[in-house]
Structure 1
Amino acid sequence: MNVLALTDYLGNVGGAELSAREILVGLAAHEEITSVTAVGGDLPGVDRLDFPGVDLAPVEISRYQENIPDLVSDSVLGRRLARTARQYVDDADVIHAHHQRSAFALTHLNTSTPTVATVRDFWPICPISIYSVNGRQCRGCDADLNACLQNQGWDGPESPAVKAYLRLKRRHNRGVLTEFDANIFIADHIRKTVSQSSAVADETNVIHNPVEVTFEGNPITTDHPRFVTASSLVDQKGIDVAIRAVGHLDEFQNAELVIFGDGPQRSSLESLAASVAPGQVDFRGRVDLQEVYQAMAGATATIFPSTWEEPFGRVTVESMSLGTPVVGSAVGGISEVIDDNKTGLLFPPGDDAVLADHLESLCKETEFAASLGQRAREASKRFTRESVASQHYSFYNSLVR
């Protein structure tokens, strides 16, 4: 089988690009795959990711394209990706667009070859790809646009123009998934949410992101309970919930919370920590990934307290791969990855009291915590590059036949 892949960027832009790279490298190593060709954008000044075994067809992107309204840049880049992809269409058995712009590129290819588009967030129904307002699921632009603008800080004098632009972008995005033979969603909650508000392809599948963890150091252990969070310090990540929960641990006042990451909420979170959990919270900021893994591997648990529908939640799988259980909010992709009371623990989003109860149980029941970690490590194997690539091949095969 010959696979033609379209990806927005070949460079190290973010988690979506890393996930696509892992899938393509895994497919290139699959015994039933003859070739994998990746057509993707090349941003100046951004290091290109390594794609062993994959034939690359880069499309040069100028910086100006990233500084124009994304509705326009989506169209421009989509057409440029399609122009290059046409050179490889005739030899392909399946064509797979891995991101939003590359999905638009796919609409410009006139081909009978089976086409697949991956949906990694809420872009088909939400013009800002988030579909969340003040920590709750959005009800759509018709109902929540004013609240959305206020939540994003866009409710100034220019708000009428912003509203018109967002409505136009939403109309542009909705329904595009039906132009493909199949859609892959990286989580079932995304498939359900998108399907409720927009038409999708006749064939759909859920294949979670691959997560490869290379841990080169030794776990940093302590003689007291220690919990870890790793995320941007923004409201929807719920870090305040984790801080309050640790402050509730009256029987374990030596418990520590290590917070990796930075963001606009850092100052307010530091003030909160000084008030409700004095001396128990350590803000580390942005550090090398291996330092995060060292702390995570030796921690009692990782806390993932997001209050919004995380599309997937890479941190969950990273922690599981290191044998550390995750205590996560029961929302979005987090609740799909964690098997409650088997590979981790779930709590209602925003509920610091229930989270504190879970943390206390892990402090008291060390054997239970260890068993969660062992089962988590085993469960994480379904997210390896090889496993996820095999799932993609099986789905391609069902379309080709």
Structure 2
Amino acid sequence: MKICIVSQTFAPQEEGGAEISARLGAMELGQRHDVTVLALGKEGDAVAPPGETRLRGGIRVMRLAWNNSYLPLPRKSSAGFLRRASWHLRTAMGALCPEQLTQFLLKEKFDLIYAQNSAYMQPALFIAARTANIPICLHLRDYGLLCPKTSMYRNGDNCEQPCLDCSILTKRMRERSGAGMTVIAVSDALRRRFLENSVLQDANWHVMHNTNSNENIFDRSLVGRRKASAPVFTFGYLGAVSEEKGVSDLIRAFVSLAHSKNAKLIIAGRGRDRDVVKMKRLSNGAPVEFKGFVRPEDVYREADAIIVPSRWQEPQSRILVEAPVYGVPVIGTTRGGSTEIIRDHQTGWAYDPDKPQALKDLMAKALSIGQTAWWENRDEIFPGIASFKGTAEQSNYYQRLEQILLKAAMR
């Protein structure tokens, strides 16, 4: 089967969860199918100029010209408000040439378009696919087709429906029923949010959690870890340093712990300068270490518990899967798809972030158990960790995905 994997951002550009999934998918599917990755490029960009390249492993990448002031990346733009607003408006009007995209699809004669990360390439991609008569499988990992910010989170609260300006910017996309399309969501919570907003309601829907990392991606020395490695009980956080991620909630909870002097908090990830400065002020001299961007394994190696304090309705963080593979329990919120992993698989504790003391109480509970007993009794406290099927091999992820893609190509 000749497959076009669409990922607006692709290696060697900076990667977030969606970009990692697109790269892993290209590597895996490319072993059995003729795969081309379609991404965006910009003239003068040193990393991602327009044109064709070959990456390690023989992955063919074709980048089409992006007619906007900067390329979309997983990290939030540091541009000012007016420039960002202009960028979103230009994107909504069409920063990708549909004619160029259509000609590319007609020339290549793909059997299927597998759109992994394509919100900013819509609706041009759908229009071109229909013109070229190529079926589409859309893999949804965020709310990008409903909200240009991709999070449906604004002014400290979650949006149940697109707000006025988002409605205007995504109008052309939201009018699509999805008839004849196949859609995969990374959580049932994400699927429900689209259907509640009557978007893609006529599509053939599937839910596949992010268990798509191959076993050789993981650090084998850490898989199934069963003992402490830090001198004091250590909480870890991995991800963007931002308000919607709940990092300020986490720091406040840790600072307020009576035992915080006998514990440690690691914050690993990037953020806007002003957000990072704010978070550092909140730590108020407590043992909080800001590591910046590091390999996730650097945190999993040390942490006794991973915190996922999301305030936004996060569809499904990859951290929820990686942590239990490494043997580390998770403390996360009941937002989005998190409970579909934490509670359903019994790999950690979940709490309501709107209850002021909830996170502090669970962190205090962990400290009261004690670091030694925490690990000695881990399988009794969190009975799902030892048997958690968090890799592609264990969950048969790519076998299931290929079955969906093959059926999608015949629609």
TM-score (norm 1): 0.79
Aligned mates of 2:329, 2:229 — CA distance in 1? 15
- Quote the residue 1:159 is aligned against: none
Deviations 1:136-189 (A, max 9, x none): 321434xx54xxxxxxxxxxxxxxxxx4xx443131221235265211222221
AA of the residue aligned to 1:281: V
How do residues 209-288 of structure 1 correspond to structure 2 at under 5 angstroms? Answer: 209=210, 210-211=212-213, 213-215=217-219, 221-250=229-258, 253-263=261-271, 264-274=274-284, 278-284=285-291, 286-288=292-294
- Quote the residue 1:155 is aligned against: none
- Quote the residue 1:346 is aligned against: 350
AA of the residue aligned to 2:324: M
Paired residues of 2:41 and 2:63 also in contact (CA < 8 A)? yes
Q: CA deviation at 1:397?
A: 2.6
- In structure 2, relative to structure 1, the CA distance for the partners of 1:400 and 1:260 (3 Å cut) is closer
From 89, 94, 98, the counterpart of 2:112:
94
Paired residues of 1:10 and 1:40 also in contact (CA < 8 A)? yes
Aligned mates of 2:97, 2:24 — CA distance in 1? 22
Partner SS for 1:183? strand
Residues 1:138 and 2:159 aligned together: yes
- In structure 2, relative to structure 1, the CA distance for the partners of 1:130 and 1:226 (3 Å cut) is same
Give RMSD over aligned pairs. Answer: 3.2
- Quote the residue 1:168 is aligned against: 168
Q: Percent identity?
A: 21
From 309, 332, 337, the counterpart of 1:333:
337
From 125, 144, 150, the counterpart of 2:146:
125
Paired residues of 1:131 and 1:138 also in contact (CA < 8 A)? yes
Aligned mates of 2:143, 2:175 — CA distance in 1? 13
Partner SS for 2:206? strand
Aligned mates of 1:123, 1:341 — CA distance in 2? 28
Structure with a larger share of its residues in helix: 1
AA of the residue aligned to 1:234: S
Q: Which runs of 5+ in 1 are unaligned?
A: 146-162
Paired residues of 1:3 and 1:37 also in contact (CA < 8 A)? yes
How do residues 304-383 of structure 1 correspond to structure 2 at under 5 angstroms? Answer: 304-339=308-343, 342-351=346-355, 353-363=357-367, 364=369, 365-366=373-374, 367-369=376-378, 375-376=384-385, 378-383=387-392
AA of the residue aligned to 1:293: E
Aligned mates of 1:51, 1:20 — CA distance in 2? 15
Aligned mates of 2:392, 2:153 — CA distance in 1? 26
Paired residues of 2:122 and 2:173 also in contact (CA < 8 A)? no
- In structure 2, relative to structure 1, the CA distance for the partners of 1:6 and 1:86 (3 Å cut) is farther
Q: CA deviation at 1:85?
A: 2.0
- Quote the residue 1:77 is aligned against: 96
Q: Which runs of 5+ in 2 are unaligned?
A: 72-82
- Quote the residue 2:74 is aligned against: none
Paired residues of 2:6 and 2:115 also in contact (CA < 8 A)? yes
- In structure 2, relative to structure 1, the CA distance for the partners of 1:351 and 1:341 (3 Å cut) is farther
Aligned mates of 2:132, 2:63 — CA distance in 1? 21
